[in-house]
């Protein structure tokens, strides 16, 4: 491992194609971390089962997510990229960690309360245990750095508590994972709410140029700019903010041309679409190449899972030993002899 014993772990939800907010907020950072650390990235399909009952598209979504990550520059020869359900050790560790997790603590996690409200007909056991599974994800590789956005801090805090409790009871087994807060911008969608697939206000990284313009066209701009001749206020306009991410060099001229009503919002959106298309052009081309060979992508995930399991099975053996459970099947065979 590089830089002492540092290991990065991140879980990525497999909601299908990733949107440009996911890219700016997370994926870009996952790619950059590879230069400094050993990285393990898991596409968390088991976590999806806490909110999904229709799982028909789940494995396709895992592949779509893998494509976006690989096209963005995740290097599978160095980095371990895999699907969570391919590493069964996670379930055993999840169970063992559940024994040191106070239920009251789980019931107070903000994401649990939100989800319980959003799906009152399906407040399942797995949903309550979501942060325990997330903790198991991380410590199954004894990862100590976890790149997350602010919304994940309560989960990370709980992960640290679970680790401390486990270490206290059973002896020092895991490092306490630390959040690597990404200085990622909060990217707003085209309706000015947080960009999210579930709000239908997002743009997929992998969109075509035409889809890109059609999505950006719907974006809310300055609400006071009703007519083409009205002067605009870039400081309240999300389209202007998005220019800052994808074509910052255009911002000064757009700023003045918007204020003087020299350009209209449609012009401005066309320019943004071009910048976004230029920005994602090489990534989209790589994605196209990769998706022409789905078996190769599956093989990358399987190879990732293999390498993940080498670490995971060692850690799990240590954990079972710490808890006082027999470590492996051969020893159990002796018990029955
Ligand atoms: N809960 C995270 C999210 O909603 C995904 C996740 C699962 C994760 N396991 C993780 C993130 C482990 C970091 C570490 O985005």
Do 180 and 215 share a domain, yes or no?
no
Indicate whether 170 pLDDT > 70.
yes
**Rounded CA gap, 145 and 138, in Å?**
9
Atom 10 in ligand 1: residue holding the nearest Cα? 11
Is residue 273 domain-resident? yes
Q: What is the CATH number of the domain that holds 222?
A: 1.10.240.10
Indicate whether 330 pLDDT > 70.
no
Catalytic positions, written as ranges: 115, 194, 197
Is residue 50 domain-resident? yes
- The CA 176 to ligand 1 mean position distance, Å, reads 16
The pLDDT value recorded for residue 94 is 98
- The CA 42 to ligand 1 mean position distance, Å, reads 9
Distances in whole angstroms, Cα of residue 212 to Cα of each of 18, 128, 167, 276:
14, 38, 50, 8
Do 123 and 217 share a domain, yes or no?
no
Is residue 202 domain-resident? no
Is residue 193 domain-resident? no
Is residue 52 domain-resident? yes
Name the residue of 97, 155, 312 whose CB sits within 8 Å of the most ligand 1 atoms, as the mutation to test its pocket: 155
Do 42 and 160 share a domain, yes or no?
yes
Do 31 and 66 share a domain, yes or no?
yes
Atom 6 in ligand 1: residue holding the nearest Cα? 11
Tokens of 82: 């895999």
| % of residues, the chain, pLDDT over 70 | 96
Indicate whether 117 pLDDT > 70.
yes
Do 155 and 33 share a domain, yes or no?
yes
**Rounded CA gap, 266 and 289, in Å?**
33
Region of residue 40 (left: phi > 0; alpha: psi -120 to 50; beta: else): beta
The pLDDT value recorded for residue 203 is 98
Q: What is the pLDDT of residues 30-52, one digit of tens each?
A: 999 999 999 999 999 999 999 98
Q: What is the pLDDT of residues 64-97, one digit of tens each?
A: 999 999 999 999 999 999 999 999 999 999 999 9
Name the residue of 19, 26, 27, 47 whose CB sits within 8 Å of the most ligand 1 atoms, as the mutation to test its pocket: 47
Is there an atom of ligand 1 within 6 Å of 146 CB? yes
Is residue 130 domain-resident? yes
Is there an atom of ligand 1 within 6 Å of 137 CB? yes
Do 56 and 177 share a domain, yes or no?
yes
Do 224 and 310 share a domain, yes or no?
no
Indicate whether 2 pLDDT > 60.
no
The pLDDT value recorded for residue 185 is 77
Do 87 and 135 share a domain, yes or no?
yes
Atom 12 in ligand 1: residue holding the nearest Cα? 11
> What domain range includes position 250?
207-289
* Mean pLDDT value across the chain: 94
Q: What is the pLDDT of residues 291-312, one digit of tens each?
A: 999 999 999 999 999 999 999 9
| pTM across the whole model | 0.93
The pLDDT value recorded for residue 336 is 54
Do 108 and 256 share a domain, yes or no?
no
Atom of ligand 1 nearest to the CA of 12: 5
Do 65 and 171 share a domain, yes or no?
yes
Is there an atom of ligand 1 within 6 Å of 115 CB? no
Tokens of 52: 């999904």
Do 161 and 46 share a domain, yes or no?
yes
Q: How many domains does the chain have?
A: 2
Atom of ligand 1 nearest to the CA of 26: 15
Indicate whether 108 pLDDT > 90.
yes
**Rounded CA gap, 73 and 286, in Å?**
9
What is the pLDDT confidence band of residue 186, given thresholds at 50, 70 and 90? confident
Do 253 and 317 share a domain, yes or no?
no
- The CA 203 to ligand 1 mean position distance, Å, reads 22
Indicate whether 1 pLDDT > 50.
no
Is residue 212 domain-resident? yes
Is residue 200 domain-resident? no
What's the gap between Cα 294 and its chain centre? 22
């Amino acid at each position: 491992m590089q830089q002492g014993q540092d290991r990065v772990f991140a879980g990525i939800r497999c909601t299908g194609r990733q949107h440009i907010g996911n890219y700016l907020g997370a994926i870009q950072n996952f790619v950059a971390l590879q230069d400094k650390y050993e990285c393990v990235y898991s596409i968390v399909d088991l976590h999806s089962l806490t909110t999904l009952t229709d799982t028909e598209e789940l494995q396709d979504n895992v592949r779509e997510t893998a494509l976006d990550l690989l096209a963005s520059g995740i290097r599978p020869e160095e980095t371990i990229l895999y699907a969570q359900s391919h590493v069964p050790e996670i379930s055993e560790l999840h169970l063992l960690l559940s024994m040191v997790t106070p239920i009251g603590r789980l019931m107070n996690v903000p994401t649990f309360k939100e989800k319980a409200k959003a799906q009152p007909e399906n407040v399942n056991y797995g949903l309550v245990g979501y942060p325990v599974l997330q903790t198991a994800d991380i410590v199954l590789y004894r990862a100590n750095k976890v790149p997350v956005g602010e919304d994940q801090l309560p989960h990370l805090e709980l992960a640290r508590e679970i680790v401390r409790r486990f270490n206290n009871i059973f002896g020092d087994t895991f490092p306490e994972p630390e959040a690597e807060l990404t200085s990622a911008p909060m990217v707003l969608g085209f309706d000015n709410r947080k960009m999210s697939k579930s709000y239908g206000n997002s743009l997929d990284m992998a969109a075509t140029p035409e889809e890109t313009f059609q999505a950006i066209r719907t974006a809310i701009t300055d609400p006071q700019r009703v007519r083409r001749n009205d002067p605009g206020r870039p400081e309240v306009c999300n389209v202007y903010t998005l220019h800052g991410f994808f074509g910052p060099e255009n911002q000064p001229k757009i700023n003045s041309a918007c204020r003087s009503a020299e350009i209209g919002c449609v012009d401005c959106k066309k320019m943004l679409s071009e910048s976004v298309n230029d920005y994602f052009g090489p990534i989209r081309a790589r994605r196209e190449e990769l998706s022409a060979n789905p078996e190769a992508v599956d093989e990358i995930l399987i190879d990732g899972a293999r390498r993940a399991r080498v670490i995971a099975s060692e850690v799990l053996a240590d954990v079972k030993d710490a808890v006082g459970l027999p470590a492996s099947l051969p020893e159990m065979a002796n018990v029955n002899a």
